[in-house]
Chain A
Amino acid sequence: MQTLKQLVGSARILVCVGRGGVGKTTMSALLARQAAASGRRALVLTIDPARRLADALGIAALTDEPVRLADPTLPGEMWAAMLKTDEAFAAILRSRMPDEAERASLEANRFYRFFATSLAGAHELAAAERLHDLATCGRYDLVVLDTPPALHASDFLDAPKRFHDALDSAAFQWLTGGKSGGRRGIRIGIGLGLVQKTLARFTGTEFLNELTEFLSQMSALMEGFKVRAAETTALIRSEQAHFVLITAPASDAPQSVSESAEAMQSRGCRVSALIVNRMMPPVALPADNRALTALLQEAGLSDQAAAGLSERLRASASEAARFADSDEAMLRQLEERWSSTLTVDAVRAFSQEVSSLAALDVIRGTLFPERAP
C-alpha cells in the first residue's frame, strides 16, 4: 500500500471523488501542488461549472486551456485548467467532423447547443476525453481530476457508457426505421409506428424530428467516441490511475465512503486513498478556571471581567471539544474500516478559508510534513 506522498510522487492520474462541501476542489489543488513541490509537472483539472478552483488558488479565472501558476519556490510545475463541458463537447464534435458542410448542418440544428450541454452523459464524456488528452499529451507527469459533486460517485464513470448505450445502433434502427447509417434528413414521419406516434404525443413531432436528426449525426461519429471511451476507461483502470476519496467527518461519512469505494472498485478502479478533511482541532479542558482567570488578569482584564470571560471561554471550549471528539471518533471508525486497504489521512479544519496559495501550503504542510533537517 502506498502512502499519499508516494501516490502523489508516482501516479499519473489521481481522481478525487467526494460529495459537495467536503473540500474536494481544495484537496485536488493541494495534491497537484504537492506533486509540483516534489519536482513533478502537475495539472489540476476541475470540471465543476463554478469558479471554485480559481477561488481556491486565489486567481481570478481559469480557462479550458491549462494555465501555469508561476511559482519559483516549486521545483516542478503547477498547472490548472477548468473544463467547460459545453465547449469541450463542441470541440470534440468538431474534431470528429472534418466535413465542413456536415458540421454546419449540425451547428444549425436548433437544439444543438442545448443538446451539446445536456445530453445525458455529455459532460462526463467530455471530461473523460479531456482527461485522456491531457494525461497522454506528455506535458504533465500527473493530472489530478476534481470530479463534479454527484449523488453517486460512479456517475462519472458510468456516464460515457450510458451515452454510448443510448446512441448505439439498436435505438437508431428502431427510431430511423433501419436507416441509422444515414447522416441527415431522416424523418420519423416515414412509416410511423405505434412507438413513434406515442413518443411524439409527448414531445411533438417537431422535437422528435430534430432530435432524430441530431442523434443520427452523432451516431455517425460513434466509432470515434467508442474508441476514445475505451482508451479512457483503460487509462482510468490502469495501474497509473488512483482514486482518492475525500470526506468530511459527518455522521453519514462511513456509509458514503463505503458506497463510493465499492462503486469504484466494482468498476475495476483502484481506490488508494481516503482523506478526512475538516476535522475540528482537539481541545483540552482544564480542571477549573483559576489558571485561566489568572492569565486573563495578567493580560490586563479586571478580576471580575477575567472571571466572567474565563467562564465563557470554558463553555465555548467544551462545545469545541465535543465537536473535536466526535470528529475524532468518526476518524477512528473510518481508519478501522479502511486503513488496511487505503492510506487514510486527516486534515484539520482551519478558522480561515483557503483563498490563496499560501493558505493552501499551510494545509499541505500538515498533510505532507517536511522532515526536520
Chain B
Amino acid sequence: MRSAPTKTGAGEPRFLLVTGKGGVGKSTVALALARQASRRGQRVLLMQLHTQDRLGQLFGRADVGTDIVELAPCLFAVSVTAQEAMLEYGTMILRSKLLYRAVFENQTVSRFLKVIPGLPELLMLGKAYHHERELGPNGSHRWDLIIVDAPATGHGLYLLRIPIVITSALRVGHMVDEAKKMLALLRNPDRCRIELVTLPEEMPVSETIELATTLTDELELPLGRIFVNQLVASDLTEPERAAVVSAQRTAVGAERSVLGAALFRHERATAQHRQIEELERRFGDRLRRFPRLPVQALTLADVDRLADIIDLLEQP
C-alpha cells in the first residue's frame, strides 16, 4: 500500500480533505482541526462541500454561505455550492460575467449542465484548489491551512475520482487542465492529506478500511490521520466487572439499574475496543482517538475540547 508518512510540525500539508461515512462526526472533526490550528495563529479556511450542518449556529451567527466569513480570529469558513463555484470559475475562465450568464444561466443549458458528469464536482474542487494557491497582499499564501469538509464516503470518493477520470479520458480543454492541476495537488503528500473520520463500530470501521484501501491503492492519494470519534471508556478492572455482574444478580431497584448501566457501558467499551484493535492493526500511528462527549448538542466549548485533544496528540 502506498501512503504518505504521517507528519507533524513544520512542513505539514496545507490542504486537508476530511471524509468518512455519513453520521460519524466528519464536520465536527473538520471544525475541531480548523479550530485547533486557528487558535495557534494559523489563518484557516474551512470549506464545506455539499455538507449541511449548523456551523454558523455554533458561533452564534447565521448559516455560513457562499461568501467567506470570519467565524473567530483566524478561523474563516465558506460553504461551496456547485452553482456558485460554476459562476465564479466560469467567469474567471470566460473573463466575462455577462457571457457566463448568457450561456450558463440559459434555462436549457443549465438543465443540461446539471447532468454533465463531474462538472459541478470538478468546479467545487477547483475552488478549493484555487484557495490553496491564492496569495495574500504580502505575496505569501493567503491561507496557512485549508480544511475541506468533503461529502460522505460514497459521494466523497466520487468527488476525488473526478480529476483522475477526466485526465485519463481527455486530452484537451479547460476541464483537463484544471483536473491536471488538481491532481497534482491531491496526489502530493507534501501539499495534501486525506483525513478520515470513523466510529468504533463494526460497519463504519470496515467501511473506513475499504475506503483507505481505495484511496491509497486505486486513487494513489496520500492518506493522513484516522480520527475515531465517540469513544466510550470503561475503567472497570476484571475483578470489578465480575463483582458488578455478581452483585447485579441480587440487586433490585435503583442499585440494579446502576449496575446495569455500568455493564452496558463496559460492554460497549469492550465492543469498541475490538474495533480499535482492528483499526490499529490497519493504521497504526495514524490513529487519533476522540472521546464521546457527554452532550446532545455540540457547543463551541465541546469543539474546543476536541481541539485541546488534537493539541495534545500532535505535540512533537
Contacts and interface: CB of A to CB of B under 8 A. Distances in A.
Interface of A: 19-22, 25, 48-52, 55-56, 110-111, 114-115, 118-121, 148-149, 151, 162-163, 165-168, 170-171, 174-175, 194-195, 198-207, 211, 215, 249-252, 281-287, 291-292, 295-296, 298-301, 305-306, 309, 312-314, 316-317, 319-323, 326-327, 330, 351-353, 355
Given A21-B22, A21-B24, A204-B170, A351 B115 contact: no
Interface in B160-191: 165, 169-176
Contacts of A148: 154
Contacts of B235: 312
A322 B258 contact: no
A322 B26 CA distance: 24
B176 A204 contact: yes
B136 to A, nearest CB: 29
B72 interface: no
B251 interface: yes
B24 A166 contact: no
Given A21-B23, A149-B22, A167-B115, A114 B257 contact: no
A206 B24 contact: no
B153 A317 contact: no
A120 B100 CA distance: 22
A167 B113 CA distance: 11
Contacts, number: 215
B94 A198 contact: yes
B2 interface: no
Contact of B254 (A51, A207, A284, A312): A284
B202 A119 contact: no
Interface in B195-214: 199, 201-203, 206-207, 210
A317 B261 contact: yes
A313 B90 CA distance: 61
B294 A166 contact: no
Contacts of B175: 202-204, 207
B117 A115 contact: yes
Residue in A198, A202, A296, A301 whose Cβ sees the most chain B Cβ within 10 Å: A202
A296 B242 CA distance: 10
Contacts of A295: 247, 250-251, 255, 259
A144 B296 CA distance: 31
Interface in B230-250: 235, 239-240, 242-244, 246-247, 250
Contacts of B258: 283-286, 292, 313-314, 317
Contact of A118 (B117, B240, B267): B117
A151 B261 contact: no
Given A194-B103, A203-B173, A204-B176, A55 B203 contact: yes
A322 B174 CA distance: 56
Contact of A204 (B172, B242, B244, B254): B172
A252 B54 contact: yes
B267 A202 contact: no
Nearest to B89: A202
Contacts of B298: 251
B21 interface: yes
A296 B243 CA distance: 6
Contacts of B173: 200-207
Contacts of B169: 110-111, 114, 207
A174 B243 contact: no
A202 B153 CA distance: 28
Nearest to A123: B154
Contacts of A149: 22-23, 152
A248 to B, nearest CB: 8
14 contacts: A50-B207, A110-B169, A111-B117, A114-B169, A166-B112, A171-B111, A174-B112, A194-B103, A202-B175, A204-B170, A204-B171, A215-B115, A286-B258, A291-B255
A195 B109 contact: yes
Contacts of B116: 203, 211
Given A167-B115, A320-B265, 10 more contacts: A20-B23, A20-B24, A119-B115, A151-B50, A166-B111, A171-B108, A204-B173, A204-B174, A314-B258, A352-B271
Given A163-B115, A198-B103, A295-B250, A206 B243 contact: no
Contacts of B158: 118
A152 B152 CA distance: 13
Nearest to B269: A351
Contact of A283 (B115, B202, B261): B261
Interface string B102-133: 11101011011011111100000000000000
B112 A175 contact: yes
Residue in A19, A56, A171 whose Cβ sees the most chain B Cβ within 10 Å: A171
A351 B294 contact: no
B174 A201 contact: yes
Contact of B118 (A20, A118, A206): A118
Given A19-B22, A207-B175, A298 B247 contact: yes
A202 B203 CA distance: 40
A285 B203 contact: no
Contacts of A204: 170-176
A290 to B, nearest CB: 10
A327 B295 CA distance: 11
Nearest to B162: A118
A352 B247 contact: no
B154 A166 contact: no
